[in-house]
Amino acid sequence: MQRAAHGLANAVVRELRADGRRIYGSSVTVLAGKGNNGGDGLFAAAMLARRGMRTTAVLTAGSAHPDALAAFRAAGGRVQPLDDANVEELAVATAGDDVVIDAILGTGARGGLNGPAAELVAALQELHPALVVACDVPSGVDADTGETHWPVLTARLTVTFGGAKAGLLADPGEGCSGRVHVVQIGIEDHLPSPALRRLTVHDLAKLLPHPGRRAQKYTRGVVGVVAGSARYTGAAALSVEAASVSGPGMVRYLGPETVARQVLARTPEAIWEPDEPGRVQAWLLGPGLDGSDQLQRAKDALQAAYDGGQPAVVDAGALELLPERCPPNWILTPHAGELTSLLGRSEVRVTRDDVESRTLHFVRLAAEHTGAVVLLKGATTLIASPSGTVFSQSDGNPWMSTAGSGDVLGGILGALAASYAASGLGDDGPFAGIGIGPEERWAAVAAVGASIHGMAGKAASGAGPTTAAAIAREVPETFRVIHKYVSA
């Protein structure tokens, strides 16, 4: 607990300094519950008091961790028990402080806040405190699932102990957590392996396909794309362009001539396949499909992938064409609305709101039911393997929620699937090197794609508007940025 508190106090100090604030004389209020989470918060506040901060503890449950409370008092902290009568007064006072530490509930919570603690947090959320730091997990967020019991005080920083909890890496919990800082407290060897895995740029550097010296286009992987229609020409143009710049040997486009002309005007490297397509190592099926001809092409391609054992990235309109059970090297890419329909196909009746409030649960369920990798798009993208592993990537920014952004993701994924299918995901390759087992490799491939898409989008956006086309154009530079980490 001392290590955790120390890590928390240090993180508060760093955050204040980064804001250009002095530590001495600044004010901090810790909202302390009665369990160990409150204990961590009180010990941390005692350390901050000894560094000259003006400290207040609001005890939200009447009692508090006895040793931590004693340490806090001994360090000169002021104690304010919360009750029905003083909620408003304490909310206003707390919101005026330089720092608020949320240490009401941690991993031992059952359900969310209630009574005066809930009222205090709801009032504080409205008052927008300058800096909120959550202890271990924002109170009200389920540490195991990311499901939230409102109200929750949105943190700028969550200081968590031992390892990043799943609830900090899946929405809506991630949306309440701000940046996540992990403090090692010496119990890591005894913790179960984390339920969610996030690939870092160092992982990507190891995993990205790299053409060997004697590479030629057919050894690097060919991706077949069935996308677009007279109505949604752009989806074809964007997904083919994105596929083409994501490192395959070649892109074959299947679709009507009118659309193909526009696709080729943008990406002359692509090959139009009016009739029987040539061989491919992977498929991208679905962006912007409309009309029976394109649906038929997607159906035929899906059948070819099924029979030939090729990976297929299945998006948008093609999600309706899936068989009941998919091969484990297929990657389905629904957004929350499409996941709702996908689950409906296996008799799981949910609304989009249900999916958005339990992202981890439903993405896992969809992978279980379909047998495929399911990539749920959103601010945080979750990728569930049918084997149970879930990756969480959050590399983009909200400017990426723009029409066609998903088509670009599809193109990136299709190209990567072709590259990996051509080079093999081998037993002793880079995936094994970073502890990714054979049964979770296609999910890892999808996570690589989601991460590249996010990084490219963030680079294209900076901190302002961007377009899907700009995201695609940023992909080659994103590969170069990642490759710089190879020797780092």
Ligand X SMILES: NC(=O)C1=CN([C@@H]2O[C@H](COP(=O)(O)OP(=O)(O)OC[C@H]3O[C@@H](n4cnc5c(N)ncnc54)[C@H](OP(=O)(O)O)[C@@H]3O)[C@@H](O)[C@H]2O)[C@@H](O)CC1
Ligand Y SMILES: Nc1ncnc2c1ncn2[C@@H]1O[C@H](COP(=O)(O)OP(=O)(O)O)[C@@H](O)[C@H]1O
Nearer to ligand X, 105 or 443 (CB): 105
Q: Which of 241, 251, 268, 270 is nearest to 473 (CA)?
A: 241
* Residue 381, marked binder: yes
Nearer to ligand X, 37 or 394 (CB): 37
Count of positions (residues) in the chain: 488
Nearer to ligand X, 136 or 440 (CB): 136
Residue 436 contacts residue 444 (beta carbons within 8 Å): yes
Phi-psi region of 60 (alpha: psi -120 to 50; beta: other; left: phi over 0): alpha
* Cα–Cα dist 106/470, whole Å: 41
Positions that interact with ligand Y (CB under 6 A): 335, 377-379, 381, 396-398, 400-401, 403-407, 409, 453
CB atoms within 10 A of CB 274: 11
Among 7, 35, 414, 449, the residue binding ligand X under the rule CB under 6 A is 35
* Residue 389, marked binder: no
Stretch that binds ligand X, among 33-41, 68-76, 270-278, 446-454 (CB under 6 A): 33-41
Among 28, 105, 459, 472, the residue binding ligand X under the rule CB under 6 A is 105
Among 29, 139, 385, 394, the residue binding K ion under the rule CB under 5 A is 139
Say how many residues touch K ion, by CB under 5 A.
4
Sign of the four-CA dihedral 38, 12, 140, 384: negative
35 is in the binding site of which of ligand Y, ligand X, K ion, none (Cβ under 5 to 8 A by kind)? ligand X
- Amino acid letter for position 402: T
- Alpha helices of 19-158 — where are they, by DSSP H? 36-50, 66-74, 87-95, 115-127
Q: Which of 406, 419, 483 is nearest to 445 (CA)?
A: 419
Nearer to ligand Y, 77 or 404 (CB): 404
Strand order across the 157-161 sheet: 78-81, 54-59, 27-32, 99-103, 132-135, 157-161, 179-183
Site string for K ion, 304-323 (x = CB under 5 A): --------------------
Helix or strand holding residue 217 (H, E): helix 217-220
| Residue pointed to by tokens 């991993």 | 107
* Cα–Cα dist 103/53, whole Å: 18
Which residues, listed in sequence order, are joined to residue 71 by a DSSP beta bridge? none
Shortest spacing between CB 113 and ligand X, in angstroms: 6
Say how many Å lie between the first and final Cα of the chain, rounded.
Answer: 34
* Structure token pair of residue 235: 């989806």
378 is in the binding site of which of K ion, ligand X, ligand Y, none (Cβ under 5 to 8 A by kind)? ligand Y
Q: Which of 16, 18, 24, 72 is nearest to 44 (CA)?
A: 72
Shortest spacing between CB 160 and K ion, in angstroms: 9
Residue 26 contacts residue 99 (beta carbons within 8 Å): yes
Shortest spacing between CB 182 and ligand X, in angstroms: 12
Q: Which residues have C-beta within 8 Å of that of residue 59, sequence separation ≥ 6?
A: 32, 34, 38, 69, 79, 80, 81, 82
Shortest spacing between CB 188 and ligand X, in angstroms: 11
Peptide bond into 151 cis (omega under 30): yes
487 is in the binding site of which of ligand Y, ligand X, K ion, none (Cβ under 5 to 8 A by kind)? none
Helix, strand, coil content of the chain in percent (nearest 5): 45, 15, 40
Measured from each CB, the residue nearest to ligand Y is 406
By CB under 6 A, tell whether 161 contacts ligand X: yes
Nearer to K ion, 125 or 139 (CB): 139
Shortest spacing between CB 18 and K ion, in angstroms: 22
Shortest spacing between CB 89 and ligand X, in angstroms: 21
Stretch that binds K ion, among 130-138, 295-303, 425-433, 447-455 (CB under 5 A): 130-138
108 is in the binding site of which of ligand Y, K ion, ligand X, none (Cβ under 5 to 8 A by kind)? ligand X
By CB under 6 A, tell whether 40 contacts ligand X: yes
By CB under 6 A, tell whether 187 contacts ligand X: yes
* Residue 335, marked binder: yes
Shortest spacing between CB 159 and ligand X, in angstroms: 9
- Amino acid letter for position 67: D
* Residue 206, marked binder: no
Residue 98 contacts residue 131 (beta carbons within 8 Å): yes
Nearer to ligand Y, 60 or 340 (CB): 340
Among 28, 71, 101, 185, the residue binding ligand X under the rule CB under 6 A is 185
Shortest spacing between CB 191 and ligand X, in angstroms: 8
Among 30, 31, 82, 135, the residue binding K ion under the rule CB under 5 A is 135
Residue 251 contacts residue 240 (beta carbons within 8 Å): yes
Nearer to K ion, 37 or 467 (CB): 37
Nearer to K ion, 133 or 455 (CB): 133
139 is in the binding site of which of ligand Y, ligand X, K ion, none (Cβ under 5 to 8 A by kind)? K ion
By CB under 6 A, tell whether 109 contacts ligand X: yes
335 is in the binding site of which of ligand Y, K ion, ligand X, none (Cβ under 5 to 8 A by kind)? ligand Y
Residue set of the binding site for (6S)-NADPHX:
235, 288, 335, 407
Where along the sequence are the contacts to ligand X (CB under 6 A)? 1, 4, 33-38, 40, 61, 105-114, 135-136, 161, 185, 187
